[in-house]
Amino acid sequence: MMKEGPVFRSHELIRALILLGFALYIARLSATGYLQYYVAPEMYPWLRLSVIPLVALSLNLAYRALFGTKNGMDCHCERPVAGSKLKHSAIYALFILPLLLGSLLPDKALGVTAASKKGMILGSPVLTREQLDGKFKAPDKYNVEFAELAKLLYVQEPIEVKPEIYSEIVGAIQLFKEEFKGKKIRLSGFVYRDEGMSPDHEFVLGRFLVQCCTADAYPFGVPIRLQTNHPAIRNDAWLEVEGNLITEIREGREVIAVAAERVTEIPRPDTPYIYLNSKEVEQWIQKARESSGGIGPGSAEKL
């Protein structure tokens, strides 16, 4: 029968500690509310549930490492872990280093630095195609919901870009930008400037759209034109902007922008990211219809 040496047991103990470390890290993020900085809300339940099997596996490995028998299994199918110490160290480092970095570095939301690296998308990341029933006709069957949303947004004064359906509202306005020209709008986000922008007259009001986790986050935003100089506005500051919708040519295409009338600095929201949420859009449209009893001037202002 094959003897189980201390090297094999040390490997199991290291694996147990790694699994326990990930379980504790996820539990800490969940308890402190920082989980939202890394994954979309629909992933929260699965990550929280993953703590249970991670702890169970960790305890099982720790028990085998500390209290396992010295002899191998009677089936003789157990064998020592192959490979050099350097190879094992490199493999374990792939798990330990991210865990240490995540635990030791401060939990921060994505901001201007990440937006600069990924590249800011102007307008909406959801829609690239462009075309009250006659005024807002969907260019195809995929944009019917955006046409319905546009009808309800059009009667608002000002149009409020709600965080729950932020990208969908911007997408609907971008799709029907000609119809929305001159309409008042109020929206919020972080300040982003690239090298080609005038520091005192323009910036992009940005948000990060997260689909699954922050690794797939897309920075996108709406260009803001300032009526007067605002040299005090700094990158990464969170602002609420109210103004009139206009259009500009950026990078060879026409996009919506805002001629700002009022700029107010605000605290960063507890949930700084936005998410694609078709259910929220459906609920908002349904609520708007029920509140207004139909579409008419001022009907959506109750929302």
DSSP per residue, 100-149: HHHHHS------HHHHHHH-PEES-SS------TTTS--SSGGGHHHHHH
Kindly state the average pLDDT of the residues 20-49.
Answer: 90
Alpha-carbon torsion (124, 127, 128, 132), positive or negative: negative
pLDDT digits (tens, 9 = 90+) for 125-173: 544 434 344 445 555 555 677 788 888 888 888 899 988 888 888 988 9
Backbone phi, then psi, for 90, in 5-degree steps?
-65, -40
- The chain-wide mean pLDDT, for the chain, equals 79
| pLDDT surpassing 60 at residue 79 | no
Instruction: Supply 36's token pair.
Output: 């939202």
* CA dist., res. 302 & res. 300, Å (int): 5
* CA dist., res. 68 & res. 63, Å (int): 7
pLDDT band at 195 (very low <50, low <70, confident <90, very high): confident
pLDDT band at 103 (very low <50, low <70, confident <90, very high): confident
Q: Which of 227, 243, 219 is nearest to 160 (CA)?
A: 243
C-alpha distance from residue 64 to each of 28, 114, 209 (Å): 27, 43, 44
pLDDT band at 81 (very low <50, low <70, confident <90, very high): low
* CA dist., res. 133 & res. 298, Å (int): 17
pLDDT score at 132: 40
Q: Strand locations in 184-300, DSSP E? A: 184-192, 202-209, 218-226, 238-250, 253-265
pTM of the model: 0.71
pLDDT band at 299 (very low <50, low <70, confident <90, very high): very low
Q: Does 57 or 33 have the greater pLDDT score?
A: 57
pLDDT band at 76 (very low <50, low <70, confident <90, very high): low
| pLDDT surpassing 60 at residue 104 | yes
Q: Does 132 or 288 have the greater pLDDT score?
A: 288
